[in-house]
Structure 1
Amino acid sequence: MMSSEWIAPLAAFTACWLALAWLLRRGRLPMDHPNERSLHETPTPRIGGQGIMAGVLVAAVWLADMALLPVLLGAFALAAVSVLDDVQGLPIRVRFFAHFFAAVGCLLAIGLTGWGLLAGTLAVVWMTNLYNFMDGADGLAGGMAAVGFGALGLAAWLGDAPGLAAFCASIAAAALAFLRFNFPPARLFMGDAGSIPLGFMAATLGILGARQGLWPWAFPLIVFSPFIVDATATLARRAWRGEKVWRAHRSHYYQRVVRLGASHRRLALAAWALMLTMAALGFLLRWFPQRAATLLILSAAIYLLIFFAIDRRWRLTRNEV
C-alpha cells in the first residue's frame, strides 16, 4: 500500500485545496444566486467542482491507467460542458445530449453491448443528473463523494486492483479538500462542474468494478443509495402528483429537513452518518452475497423509517400552519 500509486490521493487533495484557495482570491466568480430550488440566502461562488476536477486530473496523470481512460474522458468532457453551463447557462437539450453521448461512449469502451448497454446508459445518465439534484445543501454532495468513492477505493484495494483503488481514493481525497470550504457555513458550492462528473464517475466506476469482479452489482447501488433513493423517491412522488418533474423545486427529503428547521450542519452530519451506514451495509453484501436479500430489505427499511418520520413531521407542521 506504500507504492507510488498511493501518492495520488495526497496529490489530489493538495491540488484541490490549492486550486480552490486560488480561485477564491479572484474576482468575477460564477455565483449561485438564491432561487426557488435553493436553500441558501446569499449569492455564493459555485467553483468547487473546478477544484475537485483539478485534483482528479492530477491523480489521473499520476496513475496513467489506460483502463480508466474512458471514464476520465467522459468525466472531463462533462466537466467542460458544465463549466460553460455554470458560467453562461446551456439549453437542457444540450446538457442531456452531452450526458448520453458520454455515457454511451464510455460504456462501449468498457465493453457493454445490447441490453446491457441500454440499461447501463440509462443508469449512468440518471446517476449523473441525480447527483446534481442532490447538490443543494452545505456538505451534502462533498460528503457523498468522500464516503462513496472512499468505499469504492477500499473495495477495489481489497479486490487487488490498486490502480482503481488509488483513483477512487483520489476522488474521495479531492472531495475532502472541497469540504474544507463547503462545510456549513459554506464559502463556496460545488456547481455543475463538480456534481455532473462526480455522478458520472460514481456510475461508470461502479459498472467498471462490477465487470472486473471487484464487487457485486448491488454494492455501488447501496453505497450511493442516500442520493439514489432520495432523488428517485422524490421524482416518483412528483410524477404521481402530476407535477412537472423537470421544474426546479425544494421537495427532496434533504431539502424538507432544512425547511423543517434543521441547520445545514445538522443535516450534513446526519447525512454522513447515513452514508457511512450504507457503505457498511455495502461491504456486508460484498462479503456475504448470500445475505443480499436480507441486507437489501434492511436498507430499504431504514429509508422507509426515515421518509416516514420526515413525511409525518412535514404534515404536522403544515397542519399547524
Structure 2
Amino acid sequence: MILDLLTVVFVALLASALTCRLIIWFGPLDHPNIPRKQHGSATRTSGGVGIGVGYAIAMMVLLRYSAVWQYEVNPHGARLLWTSAAFSYPLLIIGFVDDALDLPATLKFALYTLISFAAALFIGPISTFPLGGDIVITIPYVVAAAGTALWIFTLINCVNFMDGANGLAMGSVGFGLVALACISLAHGVPSGAAIALCGAGATLGFLVWNFPGGRLFAGDSGALFGGALAAFASLIVIIRAGVSPFVPAIVFFPLLADALITLAWRIWRRRSLFTGHVEHHYQLAIRGGVKREVVAVCYWAATIACGALAFFASGEPDFAAEWLALLGLIVLALTLSAFTHQWARERGLIDP
C-alpha cells in the first residue's frame, strides 16, 4: 500500500511539473498593477491548472493500477473521493477565469458559497464534536450542514488570502496534506491518504517552478483548488477515520490563524473585507524587511509542527487532547498577533 501511494505522489509531481512548465510558456500574465501585488514584473499565473492536471492523472493511475484502490478503498471511500473531485474542479475553473478576467469579488464569493453548501450536502455534514470522556456535542442536521459548508468556504478563502508570497500558501497546503495522509494511514483509512498524497505531490510539482524563484504563480486557480483539496481531505479523514473535527483545524492552523485574525482586525478597524490589502501578518513581515523565502519557510515549519501536534493528539484515546491543543494554539496566535502588530506600528507599516 505504501509503495502504491508513493508511486502516485511521484506521478502527481511529474505531471504537475510538466504541465506547469507549459503554463510558463503559454499561461495568463499576472501584472503588478495594484499595491497588494508586490512582485516586480509581469509573471505567468494559473499554476493551479498544473496542480489540477497532476492530481487528476495521479488519481487515474491509482484507480487503474493500484491495489490500494482495488482492495483497500471501499465503495463509500471511493464515492467521497470522486465527490470531492467533482466540487474541486469547478473551483479551479472559476479561479482560472478569474486569473484571466478578474471577476467581481461579490460574484466569486457567491459561487464559493454555492459550491461549499452543495459539497457539504453531498459529502455529508459533520454533526458530532467529542470533547473528552463521554461528553459529545451533537448539533442538528441543518446547523451541521451550514457549519461544514462554512469550513469549506473558510479554508478555500484562507488559502486564497494567504497566496501572496512564493511558496507560502501552497507549500503549507502540501505539508498539511501530508499530515492528513499520515493521520489517515494511522487510522486505517487509505481513501483519505489517497486524496491527500495526490494533492501533496501535485503541489510539490508546482513548487518546483514557484519557490524560490517565482517563475510561475499559483493564481486563484491554484489557491482555490488547493484549498478545496485541503477542505475535502479534512472531511474524508473526519468521516472515515472518526477523528475529531478539531484535528484538521490544528493541521492548517497557521494559514487559518493569519487570515482570520487579519479579517477580524480589519472588521474592528471598519475596513472593507472586499478590498485588497497588505495587512496579513506575512505581508507585514515582508514589508518590514524579512525575506519572502524566510517567511514562507517559517509558515512551512509552523504547519509541520501543527501537523505533528494533530497526529499525536488524534492518537490519544481521550478526545479532549484535540480541542485543548487547538485552544492553546489560539492563545499563542493571538499573542503573536499582538506582538506583530506592535512591531508593525513601530515601523509605520500600519496605522497607530
Query: Which of the residues 203, 206, 211 maps onto 1:183?
Result: 211
Q: Offset of 1:230 from its aligned partner?
A: 0.7
- What does residue 182 of structure 2 align with? 154
Distance 1:32 1:286, change over 3 A: farther
- 2:188–2:241 Cα contact (<8 Å) kept: no
Query: Which of the residues 241, 245, 252 maps onto 1:217?
Result: 245
After superposition, what is the alpha-carbon deviation per residue over 1:30-82, rounded to whole angstroms, capped at 9, x for unaligned?
32424222222222111311111111111222334332111101100111121
In the alignment, does 2:82 pair up with 1:69?
yes
- 1:145–1:172 Cα contact (<8 Å) kept: yes
In the alignment, does 2:325 pair up with 1:310?
no
Give the TM-score normalised by structure 2: 0.85
- What does residue 330 of structure 2 align with? 300
- What does residue 47 of structure 2 align with? 48
In the alignment, does 2:13 pair up with 1:13?
yes
Q: Offset of 1:208 from its aligned partner?
A: 2.4
Distance 1:155 1:2, change over 3 A: closer
Amino acid at match of 1:98: L
- 1:150–1:169 Cα contact (<8 Å) kept: yes
Unaligned stretches of 5+ residues in structure 2: 64-77, 126-140
Q: Offset of 1:285 from its aligned partner?
A: 1.7
- 1:185–1:264 Cα contact (<8 Å) kept: no
Deviates more, 1:57-66 or 1:137-146: 57-66
- 2:51–2:203 Cα contact (<8 Å) kept: yes
Q: Offset of 1:194 from its aligned partner?
A: 0.7
Q: Offset of 1:196 from its aligned partner?
A: 0.8
Q: Distance in 2 between matches of 1:87 and 1:48?
A: 12
- What does residue 101 of structure 2 align with? 88
- 1:15–1:55 Cα contact (<8 Å) kept: yes
The within-5 A match list for 1:234-249 is 234-249=262-277
- The alignment-based identity, stated in percent, is 27
Q: Offset of 1:207 from its aligned partner?
A: 1.9
The within-5 A match list for 1:139-288 is 139-288=167-316
Q: Distance in 2 between matches of 1:75 and 1:165?
A: 17
Q: Offset of 1:4 from its aligned partner?
A: 3.6
- 1:135–1:195 Cα contact (<8 Å) kept: yes
Deviates more, 1:287-296 or 1:116-125: 287-296
- 2:167–2:207 Cα contact (<8 Å) kept: yes
Give the 3-state SS of the residue equivalent to 2:12 in structure 1. helix
- What does residue 33 of structure 1 align with? 32
Distance 1:101 1:297, change over 3 A: closer
Q: Offset of 1:242 from its aligned partner?
A: 0.9
After superposition, what is the alpha-carbon deviation per residue over 1:260-317, rounded to whole angstroms, capped at 9, x for unaligned?
0001111112111111111111112212233335422432243234323322221221
- 2:15–2:53 Cα contact (<8 Å) kept: yes
**Number of matched pairs:** 319
Deviates more, 1:246-255 or 1:86-95: 86-95
Q: Offset of 1:5 from its aligned partner?
A: 4.7
Q: Offset of 1:97 from its aligned partner?
A: 2.8
- 1:130–1:231 Cα contact (<8 Å) kept: yes
Q: Offset of 1:91 from its aligned partner?
A: 2.5
Give the TM-score normalised by structure 1: 0.93
Q: Distance in 1 between matches of 2:297 and 2:116?
A: 32
- What does residue 24 of structure 2 align with? 24
- 1:150–1:172 Cα contact (<8 Å) kept: yes
Unaligned stretches of 5+ residues in structure 1: none
Amino acid at match of 2:338: F
Q: Distance in 2 between matches of 1:141 and 1:68?
A: 23
Distance 1:89 1:278, change over 3 A: same
Amino acid at match of 1:51: G
Q: Distance in 1 between matches of 2:109 and 2:340?
A: 32
In the alignment, does 2:104 pair up with 1:97?
no
Q: Offset of 1:180 from its aligned partner?
A: 1.3
Q: Distance in 2 between matches of 1:264 and 1:132?
A: 17
- What does residue 56 of structure 2 align with? 57
Distance 1:318 1:3, change over 3 A: closer
After superposition, what is the alpha-carbon deviation per residue over 1:92-125, rounded to whole angstroms, capped at 9, x for unaligned?
3332232122222222112334211111112211
In the alignment, does 2:110 pair up with 1:110?
no
Deviates more, 1:257-266 or 1:195-204: 195-204
RMSD: 2.0
Q: Offset of 1:24 from its aligned partner?
A: 1.8
